[in-house]
Amino acid sequence: MSSEVQDVEHMDIAVDPEDAREYELARMRHSAAHLMAEAVQEIFPDARFGIGPAIDNGFYYDFDLPRPLTPEDLKEIEKLMKKNQKRNEGFERNVVSREEAMEIFKNNPYKLELIQNFPDDEEISTYQQGSFLDLCRGPHVESTRKIGPFKLQSVAGAYWRGDEKRPMLQRIYGTAWDTKDELAAYLHRLEEAAKRDHRRLGRDLDLFSVNEEIGPGLILWHPKGGMIRYLVEQFEQQEQLKRDYDLVYTPHIASEKIYRTSGHLETYHENMYSPMSIEEVDYYLKPMNCPGHIMIYKNQVHSYRELPIRLAELGTVYRYERSGTLHGMLRVRGFTQDDSHIFCTREQVVDEVGGVIDLALHMAEVFGYGYEAYLGTRPEKAIGDEETWNEAIDDLKEALASRGMKYKVDEGEGAFYGPKIDIKWLDALGRAWTGPTIQADFNLPERFDVNYIGEDGNRHRVAMIHRTLLGSMERFVGGLVEHYGGAFPAWLAPIQASIVPITDDQVAFAQEVEARLKDKGIRAQVDDSSGRMQAKIRNAQLQKIPYMLVIGGREAEADSVAVRLRTGEDIGAKTVDEFLELILPVIETKSLGLLEPRALK
């Protein structure tokens, strides 16, 4: 469910029980937003109201208020909501003319703007419960007593209509559920999510930062974060090379000519940065890598015998995001994306998409994610005719069926040049993250005149598949931080072993152990700082280092280390060689645990 949609429209169609539950929850949460607005109006009679939709797991409402809200205000609003709920106020719908609506909301510029933007044939309706009257399509529950247990959560600033040039409103977020147990479980999940927030952990573990002098939405990777990114990229590149991908690199800027041909200036211009003029030609920071890959393919004539050709790039792109939408590493303005473009015949599309699905699910297994799949269809802003789009959609459906993949249809959520498969990662808390995207594109090959020489000696139009596996490195690593709660598997941990000499007498042996571990590729570090042993162990645990190797006089004499895990488990004394025999298979198999290797499919 999109958080940008104000109301949930009723559609008289058969839905499965899961969809029916989502519909009823959305209806109830939208009603809770109106209940909240009623309470706000009682406290602030001069309040002016924006929109109040249901969103995933809850609701919000935007308010223009005479002063900033405080935590105490939220408590008072929630108290009033419960009081009004007990009155069992009904939600009464009334259809009004455009003129009547303009008169009713004449003192509210936000509602007037909405009314003025309605299509001429739009049926305009209002809903009223108690003293609160709102412009609304609905639907709502029958009365306020039908609203389940709820909780107001936070206040945030929100520009009207998401436009930073428009007034800043105060947005109150809340959540509502069918039962108290569901509400309690959801609030507990939020507490767990807060502990895993990648922005806090990124600071505590020294992984990345954002500097206002550099600019918002631009990530500075610190050494530890850089190591994690390097390991992820290296692993992915190796997996691609195994599957006959060719690695390429393209410039960060390109002439406007190519973006006119690609359709980006026509359909994606608002997401691109302003051009820079060079020798009277406008150049743009690239928002996507596909035009460059097309030019690499077109640099020479290709035979059908060469296809498929799979070009892959870790390419940095730049897209304008409003400052209010930026969020740590998850929503940024510059990011490196693991783009690939596969050039193939029409007959090869289904098999190639199936191969990408296989690789995507392998990635999910390695990193310990669950997954769910979606099929995005033609959006409003699209290039190409419907027949071409339908062919591409059919190919994606066939590829999904060939892998036995269940999926949901996301109407209108395809790219502007073709439909797509989205595979969302499900993390340790059951949250969905943006993951692999696979797009079948028969439109850009037309616009760029991309061909191959067929078996008949004639030119034939190539089919093109756009593909990302992990998406942007920034978003993927930020998601990994939250998925693992900062406790990365041993193979990904920036520091894999902290060596802790108990006294200065063991420092020399600790440094010898460090050298032996590094010789085997282990990222080890001696903690020879002043302080007690327990403080050093505690610091290593806070830094979520997988293994702590404590060395006292006895261990130094026996060429051994006392092994502890970051979980607090004490493994006991091991010779250095025994420790290597223990952890090297764990690292090599990319195990999610710290002691046992695993077998990947």
Taking the C-alpha atoms of residue 95 and residue 114, their distance in angstroms, rounded to an integer, is 16
Among residues 30, 48, 341, 467, the one annotated as catalytic is: 341
CATH topology for 497-588 is Rossmann fold (3.40.50)
**Is 375 in contact with 421 (CB distance < 8 Å)?**
yes
Annotated catalytic residue within 466, 475, 564, 590: 466
Two domains, one topology: 17-183 and 203-484: no
Instruction: Tell me which of 48, 140, 319, 424 is the catalytic residue.
Output: 319
- pLDDT tens string 462-485: 999 999 999 999 999 999 999 999
Mean pLDDT of the chain: 91
| CATH class of the structural domain 203-484 | alpha beta
| Token pair recorded at residue 337 | 């994306």
Given the DSSP bridges, would you call strands 407-410 and 370-376 parallel, antiparallel or unpaired? parallel
467 is catalytic: no
The active-site residue out of 29, 290, 338, 566 is 290
Looking only at the bridges linking them, the beta strands covering 150-159 and 132-135 are unpaired
Write down the pLDDT at residue 15.
31
Decide if 319 is catalytic. yes
Task: Spot the catalytic one: 41, 129, 337, 525.
Answer: 337
Q: What is the pLDDT of residue 491?
A: 98
Place of tokens 């892959």: 312
Task: Sketch the domain layout of the chain as residue ranges.
Answer: 17-183, 203-484, 497-588
Is 460 catalytic? The answer is no
391-417 average pLDDT score: 89
Whether 420 is a known active-site residue: answer: yes
Question: Is 222 one of the annotated active-site residues of the chain?
Answer: no
The band of 437, judged by pLDDT with boundaries at 50, 70 and 90, is: very high
User: Residue 1: pLDDT above 60?
Assistant: no
CA 488 to mean position of chain CA atoms: 19
387: tokens are 């027949």
Active-site residue, from 62, 339, 422, 441 = 339
- Higher-pLDDT residue of 201 and 443 is 201
Q: Using pLDDT thresholds of 50, 70 and 90, give the confidence band for residue 553.
A: very high
pLDDT band per the 50, 70, 90 thresholds, residue 539: very high
Band (pLDDT 50/70/90 cuts) for residue 18 is low
Tell me, what's the pLDDT at 441? 84
Q: What is the DSSP string of 76-135?
A: HHHHHHHHHHHTT-B-EEEEE-HHHHHHHTTT-HHHHHHHHHS-TTPPEEEEEETTEEEE
Annotated catalytic residue 290: yes
Q: Which of 22-26, 245-249, 469-473 has the lowest mean pLDDT?
A: 22-26
Query: Out of 3.20.20.30, 3.40.50.2300, 3.30.420.40, 3.30.980.10, which CATH number does the structure's domain 17-183 have?
Result: 3.30.980.10
pLDDT for 214 beyond 90: yes
The neighbouring-strand residues paired with 18 are none
Reported pTM: 0.83
Tell me the per-residue pLDDT of 89-140, one tens digit each, with 9 for 90 and over: 999 999 999 999 999 999 999 999 999 999 988 899 999 999 999 999 889 9
Active site residue 252: no
Distance CA 117, CA 109 (A): 12
Catalytic residue among 111, 293, 420, 483: 420
Proportion of the chain above pLDDT 90, given as a percent: 78
Instruction: Look at residues 450, 388, 398, 449 and name the one whose alpha carbon lies nearest to residue 421.
Output: 398
What per-residue confidence (pLDDT) applies to 4? 32
Where does 163-204 have alpha helices with state H? 180-195, 198-204
Distance CA 513, CA 539 (A): 20
The span from the CA of 466 to the CA of 451, in Å, is 16
pLDDT in tens, 481-513: 999 999 999 999 999 999 999 999 999 999 999
Query: 20-24, 31-35, 276-280, 515-519: which range is least confident on average?
Result: 20-24
Task: Decide: 560 and 576 in contact? Cβ < 8 Å.
Answer: yes
17 pLDDT higher than 70: no
Q: Residue 320 is encoded by which pair of tokens?
A: 């304008």
Work out whether the CA dihedral 140, 145, 148, 152 comes out positive or negative: positive
